[in-house]
């Protein structure tokens, strides 16, 4: 069982497709590992192994060739997405006992591709806040140092990957919710372009800030899961058809970038000097691979105002009814977002939408000169878990709990796919992530570059680890 946990997702799928192991073997391995370590990190608070074994048994009745891309690989789902017959709480007391009858599109697609859902990963309430805690399940702790945060909002998914209770994991991202936890936990997380992964529509029919995406321990495993996620669905009007070449193939054999940009701060945020130095050292290793690396970044001057207005609009669109009926059960951060949205004027919304369009055009022009841009995935190393968010960095005090996320939400604003991969470790042996971003719908070139970077940095096999006590 220990041997299975330490194999890559691609190795596991290869064994599944060869008939050398079964989906039930994988479930037994991950169930044993959860019993060993999850009580220390609280990554997967809701388990559904009976349902998982039923799905595995049905899948195993099919011929090996008909079991989908994942062929029986277990996958945890972030507790913001419904899974039929499983407690799905959104991290909120309002839905503490909610058991949906129907799964979200994403879950249905993964199960159609042979994914076996066995757990729900922890998340902050409604995904609000880059520190994973809620009133239903409590905090998720960082396995590299149990006194530190896993960031958020896909913090449970990242901690599960880092501790070996998952080979791959589902996450979602608006203001870095995939990329921040990947950075803090020493794993890989990618925010795709809007439309790549079909989503169930609950509020805004054409929302492009929040997306679902893949997480894994290495780039090739992430590409495998991404291939199982993508595709058009008529229930999502923005969803895109699959490309002709799989993302796993593109990760393995895509073109090497010729010219990339590097920025310590994108011109819009402070960054902890130790974090900036680690990321710069990693980025410059591309030069050894024959890639031109120049210091540059797009003009993101409107990023803060634009993102915070449109984020508030998305919160009030999706959660206004809950605010009216259950305000006493919502955490302060969620209330702040909704009330900020309720106070917006038409002029403010129009200004933010125009700002976004201007930044998107500038980014397109920038990517005509550079294949990619590299920068930190987070501006600090993992902070104490009791701290709700980063209030100050390198002498700069932030005005609210969202502003410290600018280095990731800048790319959300311009619809760029962006990935965080391990870049190195601080003096306290805490992980630091390198963020790589590409032009909209450039996932193929992004994954190829991420695999190249992973190889030159040499940190593709640092997880899983056993949880490590903090100070």
Q: How many residues does the chain have?
A: 471
Please determine, for residue 1, whether its predicted confidence score (pLDDT) is greater than 80. no
pLDDT value at position 203?
A: 83
Q: Rounded to an integer, what distance in angstroms lies between the CA atom of residue 175 and that of residue 140? A: 19
Q: What secondary structure letter does DSSP report for 386?
A: T
**179, 420 Cβ separation under 8 angstroms:** yes
Q: Would you place residue 204 in the very low, low, confident or very high pLDDT band (cuts 50, 70, 90)?
A: confident
Does residue 340 lie within any of the structural domains?
no
Where would I find the H helices in 327-442?
332-342, 346-367, 406-413
Which residues form the catalytic set?
78, 153, 177
pLDDT value at position 254?
A: 85
Q: Which residue has the tokens 């899948």?
A: 59
Residues 6+ apart with CB under 8 A from 261: 293, 294, 295, 296, 297, 366, 370, 372, 373, 374
pTM: 0.98
- pLDDT per position as a tens digit, 256-312: 999 999 999 999 999 999 999 999 999 999 999 999 999 999 999 999 999 999 999
Q: Rounded to an integer, what distance in angstroms lies between the CA atom of residue 74 and that of residue 72? A: 6
**137, 42 Cβ separation under 8 angstroms:** yes
Q: Rounded to an integer, what distance in angstroms lies between the CA atom of residue 26 and that of residue 24? A: 5
pLDDT value at position 303?
A: 98
- pLDDT per position as a tens digit, 232-249: 999 999 999 999 999 999
Please determine, for residue 131, whether its predicted confidence score (pLDDT) is greater than 80. yes
What is residue 106's three-state secondary structure? Answer: helix
Does residue 343 lie within any of the structural domains?
no
* Burial per residue of 60-71, b for 16 or more beta-carbon CB atoms within 10 angstroms, e otherwise: eeeeeeebbbbb
Mean pLDDT of 139-144: 98
pLDDT value at position 423?
A: 98
Does residue 463 lie within any of the structural domains?
no
What is residue 12's three-state secondary structure? Answer: helix
Q: Would you place residue 2 in the very low, low, confident or very high pLDDT band (cuts 50, 70, 90)?
A: confident
Residue 318's alpha-carbon distances to 118, 172, 322, 338, in angstroms, are: 27, 16, 9, 9
Q: Nearest to residue 451, comparing CAs of 222, 226, 279?
A: 222
Half-sphere exposure at residue 323, Cβ-oriented, CA atoms within 13 angstroms: 18
Q: Which residue has the tokens 């002029």?
A: 347
Mean pLDDT of 104-117: 98
Q: Would you place residue 470 in the very low, low, confident or very high pLDDT band (cuts 50, 70, 90)?
A: confident
Residue 133's alpha-carbon distances to 151, 288, 385, in angstroms, are: 9, 41, 9
Does residue 332 lie within any of the structural domains?
no
Q: Rounded to an integer, what distance in angstroms lies between the CA atom of residue 152 and that of residue 139? A: 11
pLDDT value at position 125?
A: 98
Domain containing 376 — which CATH number? Answer: 3.90.1300.10
Does residue 453 lie within any of the structural domains?
yes
Residues 6+ apart with CB under 8 A from 392: 398
Mean pLDDT of 192-203: 95
- pLDDT per position as a tens digit, 398-415: 999 999 999 999 999 999
Does residue 126 lie within any of the structural domains?
yes
**191, 222 Cβ separation under 8 angstroms:** no
Domain that holds residue 146: 2-303+348-457
Please determine, for residue 316, whether its predicted confidence score (pLDDT) is greater than 90. yes
Please determine, for residue 231, whether its predicted confidence score (pLDDT) is greater than 80. yes
What is residue 265's three-state secondary structure? Answer: coil
Question: What is the strand order of the sheet 74-78 is part of?
Answer: 46-47, 116-121, 74-78
Q: What 3 state SS string does 30-79 have?
A: HHHHHHHHHHHHCCCCEECHHHHHHHHHHHHCCCHHHCCCCCCCEEEEEC
Does residue 316 lie within any of the structural domains?
no
- pLDDT per position as a tens digit, 425-455: 999 999 999 999 999 999 999 999 999 999 9
Q: Tell me the percentage of the chain whose pLDDT exceeds 70.
A: 100
| Secondary structure element (H or E) that encloses residue 169, with its range | strand 168-173
Mean pLDDT (the chain) is: 97
Percent helix, percent strand, percent coil in the chain, to nearest 5: 40, 15, 40
Give how many domains the chain has, as a whole number.
Answer: 1
Does residue 353 lie within any of the structural domains?
yes
Q: Would you place residue 187 in the very low, low, confident or very high pLDDT band (cuts 50, 70, 90)?
A: very high
Q: Which residue has the tokens 């960031």?
A: 151
């Amino acid at each position: 069982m220990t041997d299975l946990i330490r194999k890559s997702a691609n190795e596991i799928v290869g064994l599944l497709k060869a008939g050398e192991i079964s989906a039930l073997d994988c479930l037994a391995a991950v169930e044993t590992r959860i019993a060993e370590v999850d009580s220390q990190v609280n990554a997967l608070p809701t388990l559904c192994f009976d349902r998982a074994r039923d799905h595995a048994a049905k899948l195993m009745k099919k011929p090996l060739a008909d079991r989908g891309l994942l062929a029986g690989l277990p996958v945890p789902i972030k507790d913001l997405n419904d899974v039929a017959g499983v407690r799905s709480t959104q991290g909120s007391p309002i839905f503490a006992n909610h058991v949906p009858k129907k799964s979200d599109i994403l879950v249905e697609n993964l199960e159609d591709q042979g994914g076996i859902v066995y757990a729900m990963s922890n998340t902050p309430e409604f995904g609000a806040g880059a520190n994973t805690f809620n009133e239903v399940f409590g905090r998720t702790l960082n396995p590299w140092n149990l006194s530190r945060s896993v960031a958020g909002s896909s913090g449970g998914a990242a901690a599960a990957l880092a501790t070996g209770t998952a080979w791959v994991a589902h996450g979602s991202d608006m203001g870095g919710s995939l990329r921040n936890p990947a950075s803090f936990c020493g794993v890989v997380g990618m925010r795709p372009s809007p439309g790549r992964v079909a989503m169930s529509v609950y509020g805004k029919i054409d929302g492009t800030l929040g997306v679902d995406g893949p997480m894994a321990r290495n780039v090739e495993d992430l590409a495998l899961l991404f291939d199982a996620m993508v595709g058009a669905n008529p229930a999502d009007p923005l969803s895109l058809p699959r490309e002709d070449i799989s993302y796993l193939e593109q990760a393995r054999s895509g073109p090497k970038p010729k010219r990339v940009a590097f920025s310590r701060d994108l011109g819009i945020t402070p960054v902890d000097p130790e974090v900036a130095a680690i990321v710069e050292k990693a980025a410059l290793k591309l030069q050894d691979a024959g890639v031109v690396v120049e210091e540059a970044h797009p003009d993101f001057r409107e990023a803060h105002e634009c993102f915070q207005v449109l984020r508030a609009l998305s919160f009030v669109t999706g959660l206004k009814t809950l605010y009216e009926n259950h305000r006493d059960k919502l955490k302060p951060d969620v209330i702040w977002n909704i009330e900020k949205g309720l106070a917006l004027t038409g002029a403010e919304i129009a200004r933010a939408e125009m700002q976004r369009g201007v930044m998107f055009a500038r980014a397109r022009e920038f990517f005509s000169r550079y294949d990619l841009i590299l920068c930190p995935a987070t501006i600090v190393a993992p902070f104490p878990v009791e701290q709700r968010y980063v209030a100050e960095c390198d002498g700069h005090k932030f005005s609210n709990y969202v502003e410290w996320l600018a280095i990731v939400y800048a790319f959300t604003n311009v619809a760029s796919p962006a990935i965080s991969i391990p870049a190195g470790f601080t003096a306290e042996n805490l992980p630091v992530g390198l963020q790589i971003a590409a032009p909209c719908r450039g996932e193929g070139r992004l994954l190829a570059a991420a695999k190249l970077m992973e190889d030159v940095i040499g940190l593709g096999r640092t997880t899983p680890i056993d949880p490590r006590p903090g100070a």
